Structure 1
Amino acid sequence: MPINLIHETVTPDQLTRYARLIYDRTGIVISPQKRTLLSNRLRRRLRETGIEGYEAYYKHLSKLRDADPEWDAFLQEITTHETYLFRDETHWKWFREQFVAEVAEAARRGQRQRTLRILSAACSTGDEPFTIAACIAACMPNLSQWKIDVLGTDIGAGALEEAKAATFNERAMRLVPDDYRKRFFIKSPTATLWTAKPTLMSLVRFRQHNLMAALSERPFDLVFVKNVLIYFDKPSKQKVLDHLRKAIAPGGLLVAGAAEGVSDLLNDFQRLEPWLYRKA
């Protein structure tokens, strides 16, 4: 990378074009206030690729397919991966004490089959899917009689590779109850890392997916979409939610982050909590 780019930021015109490229591919909005942040992230890619300058890198990115490793590396730079297990305890208390209990009781009464499908959309490095799996493994009676399918999706291939490794540091594990740590995770003897046991691994799978596209899967009983739509504008949120509607079974549930700003876009759903919606 040329030495004169070390402290140089993208021009307003370059920011506009990068923002449009990112928006068109992902639905994520990059505001003018993110100019310095975007410049810092771009410089990392210039160093890695040896491409000389923001303009040349923009032209390079524009020609790449979505599945290209460099496009994925760029996305990893510009998206936030601050995540950890058992984030938003209110949601997990409901999930353990109400949702799992009600699903188990319905199966006991013969009102539903012993199958459960849950989607964790934009799951990043897998913290949420493994939280879901841990709660099910701990709370579902006669777990071996159930067919559980927890799917974690993300646009980033790099994030999904980390998710598949199912290994988490102390920061990511800090809210995991002690009994869950002992039952469902193995601590590395040489580092402060924890790896999910096969009990959890057997319940979870991952696949790459862009929220702006339809998901080719059978409908889910429950969908989590948290801490991601805050980066989308209203038209993009609407498009994502239209796809998620089709992914939720009739009577199924949607859990959204409190700050996602989706309530006015889900008028056809029954709002049960500020963060919980039921499909009609």
Structure 2
Amino acid sequence: MSSTDSTVQVTDDQMRRYAKMIYEVAGIEISPAKKQLLSNRIRRRLKESGIADFEQYYNFLKKLPISHVEWDGFLQEVTTHETYLFRDDSNWKWLRETFLPELQKTDKNSLRVWSAACSTGDEAYSIATCVADGLRNPSSWRVQILGTDIGIGAVQDANDAKFNERSMRLVPDDLKRRYFTQLGGAAIWEPKAKLRAMTKFRQHNLLDRLAESPFDLVFLKNVLIYFNADSKKCVMQNVEQVMKPGSYLVAGAAEGIGDLMGGFERIHPWLYLRK
């Protein structure tokens, strides 16, 4: 029976080898309990690539350089999760009502933000919306919001910045009107120029150091739950190295990083201050 048949799953041995390969490349652990999920996602790559079965596809990937476009397609399949603008209201309430007002009490006129594992840019444009709306005189500020993701395709989608109604469903109506444009009556929205001017996107693996000057604020949400302890430690070391003293980290409440935060003060279950 063909691996493209929806009833066929990877074997236990294939599951082990695929999981090992994914971990070695991306630092992400895929548990045996996710055999069906992994099988379904690989199956989409089989249909796209025209390769007949799981074994042939595994051997195909092993022979390719990590920079090959098929690796990008594969990693996007196995790492992508649902994303949408203004996910987790408490984060945006804090950003708009606490962080930005406090920032404007200082003598600073610049702000650097990193949206790590940004997927298709929903989070980065949520940040940009809050910043554009929350700064009293935004033209006098130098704002740089960097979004990075391991998937080249995700980065391309973030640069294209086209969001459907589902992705936009939590954006407050007043912010949607002021900072987004609906395309030709279609149920597609794109950010206005003032948001695009703040944002840029590029490919990056969280297991590698990020060659950037330090940030005032980092968002690292809903990604470390897929990493084991060693990978989490590596990622957090890389993140801490590009955070200024006094900067903030917004994380997922269930990331499991509490024992790695010696250089931080915990403000909320999802918010940390860099010492």
Q: TM-score range by the shorter chain?
A: over 0.9
Q: Aligned residue pairs: how many? A: 274
Q: CA deviation at 1:105?
A: 1.1
Map 1:44-55 onto structure 2 (within 5 A).
44-55=44-55
Q: Distance in 1 between matches of 2:156 and 2:3?
A: 35
Aligned to 2:27: 27
Q: Deviations over 1:21-78 (max 9, x none)?
A: 0001001111001111111111221122122221111111112222211000111211
Q: Deviations over 1:225-273 (max 9, x none)?
A: 0011111111111110010010101121111011111111102211111
Query: 1:149 aligned to 125, 144, 147, which one?
Result: 144
Gaps in structure 2 of 5+ consecutive residues? none
Aligned to 1:110: none
Q: CA deviation at 1:82?
A: 0.4
1:71 paired with 2:96, answer no
SS of match in other structure, 1:271: strand
Letter aligned with residue 45 of structure 1: R
Query: 2:230 aligned to 220, 230, 235, which one?
Result: 235
Q: Distance in 1 between matches of 2:162 and 2:235?
A: 29
Aligned to 2:200: 205
Q: CA RMSD for the aligned pairs?
A: 1.2
Q: Distance in 2 between matches of 1:246 and 1:5?
A: 44
Q: Distance in 2 between matches of 1:228 and 1:97?
A: 26
Query: 1:182 aligned to 157, 160, 177, which one?
Result: 177
Contact 2:216-2:248 within 8 A present in 1 as well: yes
Aligned to 1:58: 58
1:118 paired with 2:118, answer no
Q: CA deviation at 1:5?
A: 4.9
Q: CA deviation at 1:182?
A: 0.7
Contact 1:221-1:252 within 8 A present in 2 as well: yes
The 10-residue stretch of structure 1 (217-226 or 74-83) with the greater mean CA deviation from structure 2: 74-83
Q: Distance in 1 between matches of 2:96 and 2:3?
A: 55
1:88 paired with 2:83, answer no
Contact 2:4-2:47 within 8 A present in 1 as well: no
| Percent identity of paired positions between Structure 1 and Structure 2 | 53
1:249 paired with 2:265, answer no
Contact 2:112-2:145 within 8 A present in 1 as well: yes
Q: Distance in 1 between matches of 2:171 and 2:141?
A: 24
The 10-residue stretch of structure 1 (88-97 or 72-81) with the greater mean CA deviation from structure 2: 72-81
TM-score, with structure 1 as normaliser: 0.95
Q: CA deviation at 1:163?
A: 0.7
Q: Distance in 1 between matches of 2:244 and 2:228?
A: 26
The 10-residue stretch of structure 1 (203-212 or 36-45) with the greater mean CA deviation from structure 2: 36-45
Aligned to 2:274: 279
Q: Distance in 1 between matches of 2:210 and 2:253?
A: 24
Query: 1:260 aligned to 255, 258, 262, which one?
Result: 255
Contact 1:81-1:125 within 8 A present in 2 as well: no
Q: Distance in 1 between matches of 2:25 and 2:226?
A: 13
TM-score, with structure 2 as normaliser: 0.97
The 10-residue stretch of structure 1 (54-63 or 236-245) with the greater mean CA deviation from structure 2: 54-63
Aligned to 2:186: 191
Q: Distance in 1 between matches of 2:91 and 2:132?
A: 17
State the 4+ residue runs in structure 1 displaced beyond 4 angstroms. Answer: none
Q: Deviations over 1:116-138 (max 9, x none)?
A: 10000000000000000000100
